[in-house]
Amino acid sequence: MSTTEQRVAIVTGAARGIGAATAVRLAAEGRAVAVIDLDEAACKDTVEKITAAGGKAIAVGADVSDEAQVEAAVSRVAEELGAPTILVNNAGVLRDNLLFKMSAADWDTVLNVHLRGSFLMTKAVQKHMVDAGFGRIVNLSSSSALGNRGQANYSAAKAGLQGFTKTLAIELGKFGITANAVAPGFIATEMTKATADRVGMGFEDFKKAAAGQIPVQRVGEPEDIANAIAFFTGEAAGFVSGQVLYVAGGPLN
Ligand SMILES: NC(=O)c1ccc[n+]([C@@H]2O[C@H](COP(=O)([O-])OP(=O)(O)OC[C@H]3O[C@@H](n4cnc5c(N)ncnc54)[C@H](O)[C@@H]3O)[C@@H](O)[C@H]2O)c1
């Protein structure tokens, strides 16, 4: 493929939040974008935002933790937009609870969406990348990978994604494919709003309290993460692979 040809990107969980901002950003970078989320109708806003700005996008409904749905979704993208060579594994859910109250079902749901979902999507898309001799994979990790109270399931999944990312980088590098992880800190989305609701705080107060703990003194916006993902998926980032970038308004370790 010549670099003037339009590359096809898949962004999962792109109906809203970080995924939606990423889909819009990648379309602005000239990519044709498949907006994947659980409910196809919920992807309409993101697709309309892209097409209104002159970009190309389609909505695809799929549960990333379901193998048959993932395979059908990737086949549809390949038929309607062309072979996908950029993949952003962003779909995610929370089922927070302290360990002694966490059900096995809530453990499984979180591990299934984040880890199994990223595995299934990557497996389905990688053959297109190998054929093209080019690929960019970005997995959404989190500052919670370093440990976070009430998130045994989520932190395990997000730490797992870092190991998954490094292994993809090692296995797929020879095919012109890079794999990197972006690990956001606090980003203002429905996900963090739900956490504020759960702990009984108003979202504005919750964000203000979070901002006070962040060196740049503000919470992140979805576009802050889309910006980092745009770098990793760029044509020029071919020598950057297996990295985890914390995008959190300050250092984390
Ligand atoms: N918001 C934050 O502060 C933050 C911080 C670190 C990491 N992250 C990660 O960034 C990603 C996006 O988070 P967000 O804040 O935009 O969340 P969000 O809840 O606003 O959006 C997540 C999207 O994923 C979709 N989704 C959930 N399960 C799915 C499934 N099985 N198949 C397909 N789609 C599914 C949802 O429908 C939703 O549209 C997640 O992986 C999240 O864990 C977020």
Is 253 domain-assigned?
no
Dist. CA 176–CA 69, nearest whole Å? 27
Domains of the chain: total: 2
Same domain, 205 and 88: no
Q: Residues enclosing ligand 1, CB less than 6 A? A: 12-13, 15-19, 37-38, 63-65, 90-93, 113, 117, 140, 142, 184, 186-187, 189-192
Strands 135-140 and 177-184 come out as parallel
pTM above 0.75, yes or no: yes
The percent of residues above 90 in pLDDT, for the chain, comes to: 97
43: DSSP letter: G
Same domain, 206 and 228: no
Q: State residue 64's pLDDT score.
A: 99
CA of 4 to the centre of ligand 1 (A): 32
Is 39 domain-assigned?
yes
Is 98 domain-assigned?
yes
Summarised one tens digit per residue, pLDDT across range 182-219 is 999 999 999 999 999 999 999 999 999 999 999 999 99
Torsion sign (Cα): 243, 17, 233, 167: positive
Same domain, 104 and 207: no
pLDDT less than 50: residues of the chain: 1-3
Same domain, 200 and 156: no
What is the CA angle 160-162-165, rounded to 5?
110
The CATH number given to whatever domain includes residue 104 is 3.40.50.720
Q: State residue 5's pLDDT score.
A: 84
Write out the two tokens for 76: 């549809």
Adjacent-strand bridge partners of 12: 36
CA of 46 to the centre of ligand 1 (A): 15
The amino acid at 208: K
- Pocket test of ligand 1: the residue of 11, 16, 18 to mutate, having most ligand atoms within 8 Å of its CB, is 18
Same domain, 160 and 99: yes
Dist. CA 48–CA 54, nearest whole Å? 10
Same domain, 59 and 78: yes
Is 251 domain-assigned?
no
| Domain housing 214 | 189-219
Dist. CA 251–CA 253, nearest whole Å? 7
Exposure of 196 in the CB half-sphere (CA atoms within 13 A): 18
Same domain, 239 and 163: yes
Dist. CA 165–CA 180, nearest whole Å? 6
